[in-house]
Structure 1
Amino acid sequence: MRVSLLQMNVGLAREAENTATLLRLAEDAMRNKSEHPDVLVLPELWTTGFYPRPIKAHADPSGARARRVLAALSSRFGVNVVGGSVARLEGGKAYNTCYIADRSGAIIASYDKCHLFTPSGEDHDFTAGDRLVTFALDGVSCAVAICYDLRFPALFSALARAGAEVLFLPAAWPKVRLPHWRVLLRARAIENQIFVCACNAASKDRTLGGHSVLLDPWGESLGEAAGTEAIVTADLPLARRRSVKEKLDIFDDWREALYQKPPVSCTPLRKES
């Protein structure tokens, strides 16, 4: 599976400009027919940026505009698209939603960001999702999480235990927290023995961190961008994951029932006289 991460410069409240940027980068990624990617990945909130207020004034009703763009893009090039995320307006509420399009242009899955970034007030402006999703791209079991979800390892272990081999992570991660970005991504790849394809946004004012990266199940980089707008492409050697799990499959030793038990609070032992 060949994956291209489209590390876009995303402008705040500039949907038309951002859409034009997406189409330009997608055309660049698909230009060499002999090296076409199988999957294009977009960053978080690529239509609006993270994020203009009030977000409901900028949100996409039912995600219709974004779905049209993604469906047209995937069918035009015959490529799978992990559509980053967009602000979706539904029933008077805003959701941070990722759409997945297959090669035919069909929207085959959607995911609403489950962990909203409370320090920025995202939890006041958006409604959190309440379900995890997996889906197949070209017969490969995949999953998606969004940005701040990265800090919650239980989400990733649940997806890996459900059979996900490749995890896509659209993000709008700030430059100031890039050290966390690097460590957390490697940890999620290693501890779950999965490929992680993380597409971060960039910005002209350099507040967003870029450094989109593709990691193998050992946490080794298959390709990484710098901090500016870029396309990073790499082949995911899927057989490598099988090799890793033949040597050491941590889920063979997983003890879910134990983890659900409350820890025992120990008291100091009385000194022997």
Structure 2
Amino acid sequence: MKQALNQDIVAGIAQFNIQLGDCDANLQTALAALERLAGQGAQLVVLPEMWSTGYAYRQLDQLAQRTPAILTALAEVARRHQLVIVGSLVEQDGGRLYNSAYTIDAGTLVGHYRKLHLFSTMGEDRFLAAGDRTCVVPTRLGRIGVAICYDLRFPELFRKMALEGAAIICLPAEWPKPRQEHWRTLLRARAIENQLFVAAANCCGVQGKLDFFGMSLLLSARGEVLAEAGEHDTDLIATFSAEEMLSYRSQIPCFRDRRPEIYGTLP
């Protein structure tokens, strides 16, 4: 496997109640959180899924026009504080809309991931197009894998990113009640089985008929909870230890002991 982490990382999450369709209010909330987290020494900050708009489906065509300017504002903060920022926004391209997670490294856009698994139960597939590739991004902090919300239920995606050298998985989400235990259990499983760090940013509060529980998590490569949010707006921060991750991987060499010749190509 590729060397995945360059150093210990101070990771942060901005959890907040997304104001449906209000880009200006959401941007101000996000920028304020980024400033606070940078002031606490964060090097990596993850924002929730579709954080600038929420799932304002009927307005997404119009709201997508704001995304380039929002990325410019994030890039300025990232440049000024030398941050890596990951967050999901609505993207318009070729007449289609995507739920896209962008990775900005100290002012430069270095990663662009379109959500692969669309949550049909909520009608996401009726309004948005699906992506067609995974995303592991080389950054100044190491290799970061990116997934979005419902992707969490597909472990093959995370194993692929781990094999491609991801040391940290960043997962923006809008994961609603009552599936809190699924959220927590699946996140810990993805960390444990792939021996990597997880930074999962959920939103909180009520949007239309949906009630979001928050519970954003920063997890160690052993699946230990380093920091966990409640149900309200909050900032999380914790340190990902490169030495601890490498020690754990040497103690339980899951990747060395894999038997891919037996697994074959799954149907």
Q: Which residue of 2 aligns with 1:106?
A: 108
Unaligned runs of 5+ in 1: 264-273
Check whether the contact 1:62–1:89 (CA below 8 A) recurs between aligned residues: no
State the 1:259 CA deviation. Answer: 2.0
Find the partner of 2:193 among 186, 191, 194. Answer: 191
Number of residue pairs matched by the alignment:
257
Check whether the contact 1:10–1:46 (CA below 8 A) recurs between aligned residues: yes
Q: Which residue of 2 aligns with 1:151?
A: 153
Q: Which residue of 2 aligns with 1:66?
A: 70
State the 1:55 CA deviation. Answer: 4.8
Note the 1:174-213 alignment, pairs <5 A. 174-203=176-205, 207-213=211-217
- Bigger radius of gyration, 1 or 2? 1
| TM-score with structure 2 setting the length | 0.91
Q: Which residue of 1 aligns with 2:82?
A: 78
Note the 1:36-75 alignment, pairs <5 A. 36-49=41-54, 51-61=55-65, 63-75=67-79
Pick the structure with more strand per residue.
2
CA–CA distance in structure 1, aligned partners of residues 259 and 252 of structure 2? 16
Q: Which residue of 2 aligns with 1:242?
A: 246
Find the partner of 2:31 among 8, 12, 23. Answer: 23
Determine helix, strand or coil for the equivalent of 1:252.
coil
What code does the residue aligned with 1:123 have? D
Unaligned runs of 5+ in 2: 1-8
Check whether the contact 2:21–2:59 (CA below 8 A) recurs between aligned residues: no
Q: 1:242 to 1:108 in 2, by over 3 A?
A: same
Q: Which residue of 2 aligns with 1:271?
A: none
Q: Which residue of 2 aligns with 1:94?
A: 97
Q: 1:262 to 1:186 in 2, by over 3 A?
A: closer
What code does the residue aligned with 2:134 have? L
Q: Identical aligned pairs, as a percentage?
A: 37
State the 1:23 CA deviation. Answer: 1.4
CA–CA distance in structure 1, aligned partners of residues 155 and 202 of structure 2? 19
Deviations 1:121-154 (A, max 9, x none): 1111111010111112324111110000000000
Q: Which residue of 1 aligns with 2:255?
A: 251
Q: Which residue of 1 aligns with 2:5?
A: none
State the 1:218 CA deviation. Answer: 1.2
Corresponding position: 1:223 with 2:211: no
Q: Which has the higher contact order (CA 8 A, sep 6+)?
A: 2
> Which sits farther off after the overlay, 210-219 or 199-208?
199-208
Runs ≥4 residues deviating over 6 A: none
Corresponding position: 1:14 with 2:22: yes
State the 1:11 CA deviation. Answer: 1.1
Q: Which residue of 1 aligns with 2:137?
A: 135
What code does the residue aligned with 2:237 have? T
